[in-house]
Amino acid sequence: MGLYMGILQHRIYLCSQSPRRRELLKQIGINFEMLLLRCDPRRSVDVDETPLDGEAAEPYVRRICLEKARVGSESLRLRNLPPFPVLAADTTVALDGKIFGKPDSTEQAADMLRQLSGRDHQVFSAVAVALGNRTEMALSVSTVRFVKLSEDRIQRYLLSREYADKAGAYGIQGQAGAFIEYLAGSYSGVMGLPLAETVELLQRFDYPTP
């Protein structure tokens, strides 16, 4: 009973509103609480995810992930919450070195999908765990190839609105899974949280993992 109760007491804070990341953590049995950064009245803005001029995808996703972890740890201290590990993640898509973030409109989403059509692109997914003054980070890089997409197919996909709030205007776990003819790397990383890397990081903080 003592061991069982000890396991129950382990939890982490998730610095993300992504339902995909919540789903993935539940999949591997990680006990977590949401840490909604933008809900803190002492913070006026969330993490600025605008790429710097000339910034490449890998340093960009590392920078944003670390900033989310830092802000999450700061929020923990401001709210006097129990000190459990803070998990942050960031995912971006890159084609020919160009960062494809979350589309601002249906038109931008359509343009992204046209460019990805029939091409290989990379998905960079960084994850960080922070506790106190210590932060550890890992990066997953996957290559994804889309089939050639007709304009009609793109327009039908846009009607689903699945592109909203997703880097590259698609989510592998939804209808766009049918666009992918090749994947080298991490399925969960493309989805938004590389599970192998996440578990490795949590183990470094002595968190019980599968």
Question: Which residue numbers are catalytic?
Answer: 90
Crossing angle of helices 195-204 and 19-27, rounded to 10°? 70
**Secondary structure element (H or E) that encloses residue 208, with its range:** none
How many CA atoms are closer than 13 Å to the CA of 208, on its beta-carbon side? Answer: 11
Dist CA 208 CA 147 (whole Å): 40
Q: What are phi and psi of 136, to 5 degrees?
A: -120, 145
- Let me know the angle formed at the C-alpha of 210 by 198 and 15, rounded to the nearest 5 degrees: 35
d(CA 75, CA 73): 5
User: Which pair of tokens denotes residue 151?
Assistant: 């304009």
